Structure 1
């Protein structure tokens, strides 16, 4: 018989999820800070151009990790230990196959990829250096995402959080070491970021020594029928990351056309801070995913209410902080004290971050439906807020309002998607 989920249990899963994802998001935020200090606005622009590739890599890692761990939880709840082990084995194999594609791209195709992402003559070399090293570390990024999800779903959310935070702290310290004392510039930033998942995996490996752990590697032939079951629950996580990546890519290209590299550097400040806030809501939703997957419908509705309420409170507080402190926040990343960058970034922060009042609901709703066995609804929400709505809204608003229209794109798209999320929530089974 299932027992009702208590507020204490909700906090035990939600808090580590949030703190852990903040840790992961700080990989790129630390790079942003130290790259801005070490290489100036051009380095900041190059980093911002490279981030969509990281979004895709991280999104695919989350898809197989969250999806596989969700299916694993269902197998364990049904008492099918063999299928649970089979799910873990196939998830790991699928993740390594995906990582191999990124390694090959980083080895042989990084310059065309950099140009595709928007690098021009001024930023191409720095973008390519960063991407080449980052993509070659893809096996560690993807494996880390898988292990975090399985360890969390196997009853150790605290260890999952500890792994993510340990990796982030390593990245912050060695970003400084490699960029300044060692003088490695963009290469040093990428090296610190790429090595960080190794530290996280060392922490997570402690779970493998527990006799009570629920997942094990099995030697068996590949079963293609398992792959859709593994991927489907994680599709909304993938599309959420793609939303960030596509938004970054398109906005970078539009800003380059209408305002140049300085505007892209300003967007680098906005986008990387936005990455942290997105990570908070992603961490909140993935943190409570094990509870949603194994709960009865009444408990699922209660968990949804608690999660959305928590997200709205966090979003409102974050917006007040960003609105009040937009100027000093920009100054932290504006090492050259460029007045043009400040004039672009400060109003951009205040407009862009208003979108999180709706985005937090969209992120929570997409993850909730995926965890509750309604993956199609979660996928549709994520699809609307990324691939479907962004291009027409961005091109229309930028044509009408210039750079201000670019900053308004994110709030406008998230508001449209929020209407759909609320309709799905109201019409979901009671």
Structure 2
């Protein structure tokens, strides 16, 4: 139970904990709630996909199309959240608490404002937006119905990610888990009630998601109102200063690139799957949800590394940073080798959880198996990018984020289907993962060498 229990610590006690507690136990303590939070949070899209799939192939595909809209909303909250969180962790490591409060408050209200602008834009051009995102004429009506509700919840959905990341940055991941997990579990309950009980169909799934995210927002916000956090949230702390946005965007840019490129890759996946029918779009959409669910555990584990890396870098404890990264890589590679093997063997049964359409199952089974083979490399890629991000090396992290879903994936999926048909769509992501692994090695090995030099000097 120690992994789940967090004793209330003042700022000085928290600093000592983050810089002196043994790395292995500290990362596990921080990572456990974030892994649970990420897994349960990913149930938002997973649950919607499972229940909506019962309405038919077009409905299932529509959720995949609107996933791009949800990715944009998330990108706002995660960019400002991770950008401010990693900046905050380094400021707390350097004992600059006033600046940490200013960074967090500025990120909070900026996130809300940008998400509101996106809501207004999306509601004004919903039809054009879903067609741009890859909806076919038969899928578009379902996508519009789903998106029109999801867009309303964008402001509190985005801000929830910002608050969750900042709670994690100060070592209070458990509080973030409570908020995100509560909303996700509520979504599981509301989905069948609204979709089938009230006969609302795909619009009911969207309403369940928006209401559940609203509950998450309220719980997360209450942690700051009740002073459970060492960070002070106030509009009076907002500073529209260049150094704050520079630091947030420098560190948050990799998250922006990563989430926006997920959107781009999702659009490409829909567009290049479309020639092979609605079944192909539905199958690849389900594959994306499944891999997102599995990777959410990896991201949660990496988020346990990030505050340790940020504090260690800010406190000039380079030895702890090296130890933390090596521990996380070893653990993640072994774990995802095992998970990948299980999912490879059970890929057909995983697809059956969503649809009984034989064509969808056949396409999705092959796609899941290809991606499962490369899961250990994906673990290394993700952790490499996250350690650069948490230590303020935004350019390196941005390049690695751009590589997987941009530099490599987009050209591969644009070219391969024209040569080898549907198989080109199914193997595009694994090929991108291999190329990203090679690039990650080229970046991380010199960085580790630099850390060893700094540690020896210190």
Smaller-chain TM-score bracket: over 0.9
Deviation at 1:76, TM superposition (A): 2.3
1:313 to 325, 334, 343: 334
Deviation at 1:79, TM superposition (A): 2.7
Equivalent position SS for 1:183: coil
Equivalent position SS for 1:184: coil
Instruction: State yes or no: 1:261 paired with 2:278.
Output: yes
Match of residue 29 from structure 2? 12
TM-score (norm 1): 0.95
2:270 to 252, 277, 295: 252
User: For the Cα contact (< 8 Å) 2:183–2:215, is it kept in 1?
Assistant: yes
What is the number of residues matched between the two proteins? 426
Deviation at 1:212, TM superposition (A): 6.3
Give matches, 1:261-410, under 5 Å.
Answer: 261-295=278-312, 296-334=317-355, 337-410=356-429
Deviation at 1:78, TM superposition (A): 2.6
2:209 to 169, 193, 199: 193
User: For the Cα contact (< 8 Å) 2:44–2:184, is it kept in 1?
Assistant: yes
Q: Deviations over 1:102-161 (max 9, x none)?
A: 211232011110110111221111101111111221111111011111222233211111
Deviation at 1:221, TM superposition (A): 5.4
Equivalent position SS for 1:389: helix
Give matches, 1:135-150, under 5 Å.
Answer: 135-150=151-166
Deviation at 1:4, TM superposition (A): 5.7
Match of residue 199 from structure 2? 183
Equivalent position SS for 1:73: helix
User: For the Cα contact (< 8 Å) 2:412–2:432, is it kept in 1?
Assistant: yes
The structure-2 alpha-carbon separation of the partners of 1:212 and 1:191, relative to structure 1 and needing over 3 Å to count, comes to closer
Equivalent position SS for 2:134: coil
1:163 to 179, 185, 191: 179
Give matches, 1:29-48, under 5 Å.
Answer: 29-37=46-54, 39-48=55-64
TM-score (norm 2): 0.89
Equivalent position SS for 2:115: helix
User: For the Cα contact (< 8 Å) 1:96–1:143, is it kept in 2?
Assistant: yes
Deviation at 1:324, TM superposition (A): 1.2
1:101 to 107, 113, 117: 117
Deviation at 1:265, TM superposition (A): 0.9
The structure-2 alpha-carbon separation of the partners of 1:318 and 1:245, relative to structure 1 and needing over 3 Å to count, comes to farther
User: For the Cα contact (< 8 Å) 2:30–2:171, is it kept in 1?
Assistant: no
User: For the Cα contact (< 8 Å) 1:47–1:130, is it kept in 2?
Assistant: yes
Task: Find the aligned partners of 1:338 and 1:78 in 2 and give their Cα distance.
Answer: 56
Q: Which moved more, 1:224-233 or 1:164-173?
A: 224-233
Q: Which moved more, 1:248-257 or 1:349-358?
A: 349-358
Deviation at 1:299, TM superposition (A): 0.9
Deviation at 1:314, TM superposition (A): 2.6
Task: Find the aligned partners of 2:336 and 2:149 in 1 and give their Cα distance.
Answer: 34
Long gaps (5+) in structure 1: none
The structure-2 alpha-carbon separation of the partners of 1:243 and 1:280, relative to structure 1 and needing over 3 Å to count, comes to farther
Task: Find the aligned partners of 2:69 and 2:415 in 1 and give their Cα distance.
Answer: 25
Match of residue 217 from structure 1? 234
Long gaps (5+) in structure 2: 1-15, 453-458
User: For the Cα contact (< 8 Å) 1:20–1:161, is it kept in 2?
Assistant: yes
User: For the Cα contact (< 8 Å) 1:4–1:299, is it kept in 2?
Assistant: no
4+ runs deviating over 3 angstroms: none
1:3 to 17, 20, 37: 20
User: For the Cα contact (< 8 Å) 1:240–1:363, is it kept in 2?
Assistant: no
The structure-2 alpha-carbon separation of the partners of 1:217 and 1:395, relative to structure 1 and needing over 3 Å to count, comes to same
Deviation at 1:206, TM superposition (A): 4.1
